[in-house]
Amino acid sequence: MQRSRFLTAVVCLLAHLSCISAPALAQDVAEFYRSKTVEISVGTGPGGGYDANARMVARHIGRFIPGAPRIIVANVPGGGGITAANKLFNVSPRDGLSIGTFSNALLTLPLLNPGATRFEPAKFTWIGSLSREDGVCITARGSNVANWRDLQDKEVIAGTTAPGTTTHLYAALLLNLFSAKIKIISGYPDGSSVVLAFTRGEVQALCQTYSSLNVLHPEWLQQRQVNPVATMGLNRIPALPDIPSLMEFTRSDRERDIVRILLAPTAAGRPFAAPPGIPADRAKALQAAFKHMSEDAEFLAEATQARIEVQTMDGNAISGLLDDLSKTDPAVLDQVRKVIEPSASK
């Protein structure tokens, strides 16, 4: 009898706790964030697409985080985002007050080039992404290369950021898998610097995310002031329906596998992450805040004005993408490495 009464009491206590745990948890998170400052580190310099994206998020997400913390943005350029990702993983406090955003190419860089970074993508606390980030490769109107066929026959100089980053990966893919006549000049600190070099005539070609070009220079593609040679995605970009995707130029299953792996991170767009191991309740609060922000009418109005097409991917989906990539056949990964490694560039 006593045992029965004891068990009944335990059940009642647990039921009571389950009823109060959610609001109590929310209260604890709100108390932590109240009067605090959350810093968003951007892996590029000021003025680029990633920077504009992060600053737009900073203007809105604080309204949806319990406790309404202040949000600031800090630019951490270098290595095409590697510097920012390394800092977020190894240096930033694991308390929920640090967020980072950097090139989606870094999701696969440690898998394809172990030792090139000091972070493990699967261990980040992924918060979400606002959009897909298919790329586009363009040449200057005054260059000798106006289309894909020209790219096979005539040399053009392309500017890129560091090896392993989006702008370099795209150019290396064209050079090493499709035998494009591209001479790569790498080492620009971020995508905005590559775009500036292009406008100055230092380089005659670049591969960049479509959304970045659409934010920085919408007239280039809308008015065909440049030559779009190919889009860097698994499918065509809806806004550029007449420009073939790179997948359309593949000639074998091997090439399709390589392109599929290298361009898979485009689905993650411009991802936002927190350091590994932050408290679970704060991680959930940040993920929920990102989701609610992306559905907010005020936020969506600003995104539309900024020419940012919102196609969200939540943190769990990004983690799932990384999990799928981790299961890639090692033989296929070896083929991919041969395509993108710097020594393969001619």
Nearest-angstrom CA–CA distance, 199 and 136: 16
Q: Crossing angle of helices 166-178/191-200, nearest 10°?
A: 70
Mark the ranges of the chain whose per-residue pLDDT is less than 50: 1-3, 6-24, 343-346
Which residue range(s) make up the domain with 200?
A: 135-265+332-344
Backbone torsions φ then ψ of 131, nearest 5 degrees:
-160, 160
The pLDDT value given to residue 284: 97
Q: Judge if 230 and 92 occupy the same domain.
A: no
**Tokens 């209260």 -> residue:** 27
Q: For the domain that residue 259 is a member of, what is the CATH number? A: 3.40.190.10
The pLDDT value given to residue 132: 84
Nearest-angstrom CA–CA distance, 103 and 114: 17
Q: Judge if 315 and 261 occupy the same domain.
A: no
Q: Judge if 245 and 309 occupy the same domain.
A: no
The pLDDT value given to residue 315: 96
HEC-encoded secondary structure of 31-50: HHHCCCEEEEEECCCCCCHH
Q: Judge if 160 and 64 occupy the same domain.
A: no
Q: Judge if 102 and 186 occupy the same domain.
A: no
Examine residue 66 and state whether it is found in any structural domain, yes or no: yes
Q: Which long-range contacts (CB under 8 A, 24 or more apart) does 336-340 make?
A: 336/112, 336/258, 336/261, 336/262, 337/112, 337/113, 338/176, 339/172, 339/173, 339/176, 339/177, 339/258, 339/262, 340/112, 340/113, 340/163, 340/164, 340/169, 340/172, 340/173, 340/176, 340/262
Nearest-angstrom CA–CA distance, 346 and 342: 9
Q: Judge if 178 and 42 occupy the same domain.
A: no
The pLDDT value given to residue 137: 96
Q: For the domain that residue 281 is a member of, what is the CATH number? A: 3.40.190.150
Q: How many domains does the chain have?
A: 2
Q: pTM here?
A: 0.78
Examine residue 306 and state whether it is found in any structural domain, yes or no: yes
Examine residue 1 and state whether it is found in any structural domain, yes or no: no
Examine residue 6 and state whether it is found in any structural domain, yes or no: no
Nearest-angstrom CA–CA distance, 134 and 259: 13
Examine residue 259 and state whether it is found in any structural domain, yes or no: yes
**Tokens 């499709």 -> residue:** 178
Q: Judge if 326 and 338 occupy the same domain.
A: no
Q: Judge if 150 and 100 occupy the same domain.
A: no
Q: Judge if 300 and 199 occupy the same domain.
A: no
Examine residue 9 and state whether it is found in any structural domain, yes or no: no
Q: Judge if 278 and 240 occupy the same domain.
A: no
Examine residue 13 and state whether it is found in any structural domain, yes or no: no
The pLDDT value given to residue 26: 56
The pLDDT value given to residue 164: 74
Torsion of CA 220, 221, 227, 232, to 10 degrees: 120
The pLDDT value given to residue 308: 85
Examine residue 2 and state whether it is found in any structural domain, yes or no: no
Q: Judge if 200 and 221 occupy the same domain.
A: yes
Nearest-angstrom CA–CA distance, 9 and 84: 52
Q: Judge if 148 and 284 occupy the same domain.
A: no
Listing DSSP states for 254-284 in one string gives HHHHHHHHHHGGGGG-SEEEE-TT--HHHHH
Nearest-angstrom CA–CA distance, 87 and 220: 34
Sign of torsion over alpha carbons 174, 259, 161, 271: positive
Q: Let me know: does 189 contact 196? Beta carbons within 8 Å.
A: no
